[in-house]
Amino acid sequence: MKDRGRQTFDAGELSVVLSHYELGVIESITSFERGSRKSPKVGIVCEKGKYVLKRRDPERTSITRMRLAHALQAHLHAAGFPLPALVRAVDSGETMLVLRNRVYELFEFVPGHQYRGLDAETFDAGATLASFHQKVRGFTYEEKLPTSNYHDALAVRTGLNAIPSRLSEHESVTGKQGELLGVAQALFDTYDRVAERADHAGLAHLEVCVVHSDWHPGNMLFRHDRVAAVVDYDSVHYAGRVLDVANGMLQFSVATDARPENWPDQLDENRLLQFMTGYESLSELSVEEKRCLAPLMIEALIAECVVPIAATGFFGRLQGFGFMKIVRRKVKWLEDHAERLTELFTSDRNVGRSSLPASKQAK
């Protein structure tokens, strides 16, 4: 069934946009119904090969940030990092096309499939993040990179304070305003506690680098149990690399179910370790970084839900109040098990690698 809320291209728009690229004869154009509904994508098969055309969501498009993201992608592509190459428009030579206040990007198509939760895929997602951090060391940019992140962030606290009034009139909250206030306050208090724990563990003294800041399964394609491509560089900034590692470990270990209300509280500890071990197969984490992981995962989980719910009342298509209760349960599990997880992360055992084929242990 067609998603009525999803933006699409019209034939005239496609004809004009594609005239700015040298693609040869167009054989077929197919809609891609993945990702943001406000950012339509189509797959193009043509004389020159296969491509993906994307129109950016105008509400989330900053030309300044796009130029930074494109510069970084060019640097990574030259370094052999797995990502879809951007295609330049023939008239401007630019990798972004601006027409009538709309912004477009054309990428070379990379075949692959979504994350299936396999150990080898999880391991390689961690190893690929380590490769990313290694390959961005030589990246320079004419402007100063942003430094904002999910740790100890004013935006998260402001969002938590705003959510009770933002959701107060929603039908899911009727008669439950006190419960909503309690959930928001509990998340606020937890966020404060774990931010302080991360600082106490030494986060402020760790070296900063360029971080991806959105390392999750939805931003990757896999092929033969390996990462075939990493996408979405709009959130890159300077921070400690452990913020990327903690967020990646969280994103690749969240246990879900077809029905959100049935999502279990606990994280998948095997996938946690597979991801971290994959990262350390290329770049070892310090003890200080490992001690920051558990509190940072909690901060990342809270921050991810708070910002969109404070802005829209929803997390994707899920009602904000219901999703906050799910997050509260998961946050409580993480905080209750933080000490044990930290001991697991900092142990000398090389957990997880022995179960992987040798071909998956080197990148």
Q: From CA 234, how far away is CA 39, in angstroms rounded?
A: 14
Euclidean distance between CA atoms 85 and 74, whole angstroms = 8
pLDDT tens figures, 258-284: 777 788 999 999 999 999 999 999 999
Q: For tokens 């690229």, name the residue.
A: 21
CB 84 within 8 A of CB 221: no
Look at residue 259 in the predicted model and tell me its pLDDT.
Answer: 78
**E strands of 179-324, at which residues?**
208-211, 220-223, 226-230, 237-240, 314-315, 318-319
Please indicate, yes or no, whether residues 160 and 52 belong to a single structural domain of this protein: no
Q: Which of 108, 131, 150 is the last residue of a domain?
A: 108
Domain shared by 67 and 33, yes or no: yes
Give the mean pLDDT of the chain: 91
CA distance 149 to 239: 7
- Among 258, 253, 187, 269, smallest CA distance to 215 is for 253
pLDDT at 304: 94
267 and 137 in a common domain:
yes
pLDDT above 90 for 318: no
DSSP state of 267: B
CATH of the domain at 92: 3.30.200.20
The whole-number pLDDT of residue 72 equals 97
pLDDT confidence bin for 105, thresholds 50/70/90: very high
- Looking from the CA of 25 toward its CB, the CA atoms found within 13 Å total 2
Instruction: Look at residues 122, 124, 127 and name the one whose alpha carbon lies nearest to residue 282.
Output: 127
Check pLDDT > 70 for residue 65. Answer: yes
Q: Rounded CA gap, 199 and 240, in Å?
A: 12
Inform me whether the pLDDT recorded for 70 exceeds 90: yes
Whether residues 148 and 293 fall in one domain: yes
For residues 113 and 33, give the distance between their C-alpha atoms in angstroms, rounded to a whole number: 14
Average pLDDT (157-184) is: 91
Could you list the residue range(s) of the whole structural domain that residue 191 is in? Answer: 119-349
Is the pLDDT at 100 greater than 90? The verdict is: no
- pLDDT over threshold 50, residue 352: no
Q: Which amino acid is at 4?
A: R
Query: Which helix or strand (DSSP H or E) is residue 248 part of?
Result: helix 241-251
Region of poorest pLDDT, from 88-97, 172-181, 235-244, 247-256: 172-181
End-to-end distance of the chain based on CA atoms, in angstroms? 40
Do both 309 and 202 map to the same domain? yes
Task: For strands 208-211 and 102-108, give the pairing.
Answer: unpaired
Question: Would you state the pLDDT for residue 278?
Answer: 98
Q: What is the mean pLDDT of residues 90-105?
A: 94
What is the maximal distance between C-alpha atoms in the chain? 62
Is the predicted pLDDT of residue 35 greater than 60, yes or no? yes
Sheet arrangement for strand 97-99: 26-32, 41-46, 49-55, 102-108, 97-99
* Residue 354 pLDDT: 39
pLDDT tier at 349, thresholds 50, 70, 90: low
Tokens of 62: 């900053």
**Is 361 inside a domain boundary?**
no
Check: CB of residue 213 under 8 Å from CB of residue 239.
yes
Of 221-225, 246-250, 318-322, 325-329, least confident by mean pLDDT is 318-322
**How far is 180 from 173, CA to CA, in rounded Å?**
7
Confidence of residue 191 (pLDDT cuts 50, 70, 90): very high
Q: The whole model's pTM is what?
A: 0.92
248 located within any domain = yes
Q: Is 255 within a domain?
A: yes
**Are residue 57 and residue 93 in the same domain, yes or no?**
yes
Q: Are residues 216 and 151 in the same domain?
A: yes
Same domain for 274 and 146: yes
Q: What is the model's pLDDT at position 36?
A: 74
DSSP-assigned letters across all residues of 117-166: --HHHHHHHHHHHHHHHHHTTT---SSPPP---STT-HHHHHHHHHHHHH
Model confidence band, residue 357 (pLDDT cutoffs 50, 70, 90): very low
**Residues 193 and 124 occupy one common structural domain:** yes
Residues 149 and 78 in one domain: no
- 113 within domain boundaries: no
Cα 345-349-354 angle, rounded to 5 deg: 110
What is residue 2's predicted lDDT score, i.e. its pLDDT? 46
Share of the chain above pLDDT 90, in %: 79
Which spans in 255-319 are helix H?
269-280, 287-312
Out of 87-91, 162-166, 349-353, which region has the weakest mean confidence (pLDDT)? 349-353
Say which DSSP state 22 is in.
-
Reduced to 3 states (helix: H, G, I; strand: E, B; else coil), residue 299 is: helix
292 in any annotated domain: yes
More confident residue, 135 or 360: 135
Task: Average the pLDDT over 247-256 and give the result.
Answer: 93
Whether the predicted pLDDT of 355 surpasses 80: no
Q: Which of 36, 74, 73, 69 is nearest to 55 (CA)?
A: 36
Q: How many domains does the chain have?
A: 2
pLDDT at 169: 79
| Paired tokens of 142 | 């004419």
pLDDT reading at 156 higher than 80: yes
**Residues 161 and 55 occupy one common structural domain:** no
Check whether 214 has a pLDDT greater than 80. Answer: yes
Find the mean pLDDT for residues 45-72. 92
Last residue of a domain, one of 88, 108, 128: 108
Domain boundary among 75, 108, 141: 108
